[in-house]
Structure 1
Amino acid sequence: MLNFLKIFSIFFLITFFANITSANSQENNTKVTIGVPLYVYHPDDRPGSRDWNDGWFQNEGVFADISWPVYSLGQSTDLRLGATAGIFDNSIFDTSVFAGGVAEIETHATDRVFFNAGTYAGLITGYDMAVGPAMAPYAGAGYHLTDKVEIGLRGVWLPAKTIAGSEDAPSDAYVGTVTIGTRF
């Protein structure tokens, strides 16, 4: 848990102090989001004698997204596309590194509250292949602390059949993350 608090605190302070200036968050194009996993759950038992690497603060890691609105779906809803990368302790107690793209629909319910749903698609390491494909749909909600700083929660589904390590990790994983972001 100590590493989680260090990572989150550092990114929070950097993001907060770097973005004191004001601007309407919905009018800013570039969005950068940093996230860390809080909880991981596997609905199936792991074959053999080892358990899954799941629970609160078990899968230490960090991810970062950068995205831009590419199409307006209404006054407060955008289709966003971008890139993502990260590193984390995976379900089978190895380190995974991933990189890829992100596609997201984001809608603002108010000036401060927003919801998003999207998917990650890219390449991942740390399973039975040196590098393999992976996909992870997600849904989340966030709150603008200031005009430029936001926090949020995101639920990510890692379907085993789309992960390169499905032979090593045949169970889906559900990951709850906390995020902090900025727009400029």
Structure 2
Amino acid sequence: MIDLHDHDGLWIITLNRPDKANSLTKAMMEELTDIADRAQAARAVIMTGSGKVFSAGADLNEARAGLATDDVWERLSGRIAALPCLTIAALNGTLAGGAFGMALACDLRIAVPQAKFFYPVMKLGFLPQPSDPKRMAALIGAARTKYILMGGQKITAEQAYHFGLIEQIVQPDDLMETAKTLCIDALAASPDIHHGIKALCR
């Protein structure tokens, strides 16, 4: 349910459970964490999904069984955030719940116009993963973060762009080519330049 393709240093990771809106199981999360560990060898990473939804968050059955509060979410987002290469979330559709952690941990986020963004933890009675509100607030500010997390707002791609949550809105047919184009300079650069620029941006 996780596809990985290495194109000469460009790693493309695809959530491939479209019949379940790419909702994430514990096994999928562990596999993603393992891939993120191995991605130290990548020159650039693109994360995307199959179908019309990036991810609906946790698989509901597993969420009720404890996945919603499992530390695997935090481990995964931490691994992605620590990667020395350029990381891009190419959001092929809606981003919801705990799946936010993966996208927020990436360096860049681009999305299709149809994408919606929501994180309904308050309604479901869970706290968000600890790093998610911090990373979200760093991008869009504390008030807008509360607007999503506490106000329960589902925002559009246009709102996400104006908030600063995503960097670009891209038509579905152009999504992956746009993501790959953003990786061109990173693929040509040496690892020490990757490290240096990311360190200067922190």
Identify whether the pair has TM-score above 0.5, normalized to the shorter chain: no
Which structure shows the bigger proportion of residues in strand conformation? 1
Query: Which of these two proteins has the greater Rg computed from alpha carbons?
Result: 1
TM-score normalized by structure 1? 0.23
Q: Which has the higher contact order (CA 8 A, sep 6+)?
A: 1
TM-score normalized by structure 2? 0.22
Which structure shows the bigger proportion of residues in helix conformation? 2
